[in-house]
Amino acid sequence: MFPKSTFLKFGVAAWAAAFSLFSANAWAMEDQLNKVNAYAQNELNEWAHHPVIIAALRKQNEEHAALSFEHIVSLDTAWRASKTEDANEALTIRLNNKTAAFLKGIQAASSFAITEVFVVDNRGLNVAQSTATSDFWQGDEDKWLNPFYHDEKTDTGTSYDISDIDYDASTGAVQVQASLPIKDPETGDTIGTITFGFNLGKLSS
């Protein structure tokens, strides 16, 4: 039998090692989140206001101006019920339009550290996206609400929203989303939002 002191020493050493590993991981995670914040203030904001995105938002906002809430819910329900891209005409359009091609280019240029990009109109409905999303309407989620209504929020110093960290157990990927408002360069009005998903493990140092 080992003496009690041996177990105590082993226990202290194990806890110390675990704490050290946790601290290192926490520091690395904070460093990666700082990079996402830097991206949001610079590159992401520039991409968000590219002319192709502004034009697409203006067009869809005009088309959706008269949509009732009930109609929006029905569109979202139909989207969710479609199990494949072929069965979802709205998704097919938003994955293959000119704006989607621009978003896919951003994703590919990041070596897929950016896992997804999607643009959302002033009613909370997707305009274009680089990958499929589970829903069509984002209007009830913080990723749309916080950046779209940021001018009315007095408790935040930024106009963008950083989501909670999400761990995908199936892939081991640690992901976070950054969502920004998009303003019309002519009027200054917020006309939509854009959300970028990041794989924190792939962000360059």
Write down the domain spans for the chain. 4-202
Unique residue bearing structure tokens 């293959």:
96
The reply to whether the predicted model has a pTM over 0.85 is: no
**pLDDT by residue (tens digit) across 157-185?**
457 788 888 876 655 678 889 999 999 99
The C-alpha atoms of residue 20 and residue 67 are separated, in whole angstroms, by 54
pLDDT value of position 175: 87
Unique residue bearing structure tokens 């979202």:
76
Q: Which fold has domain 4-202?
A: Beta-Lactamase (3.30.450)
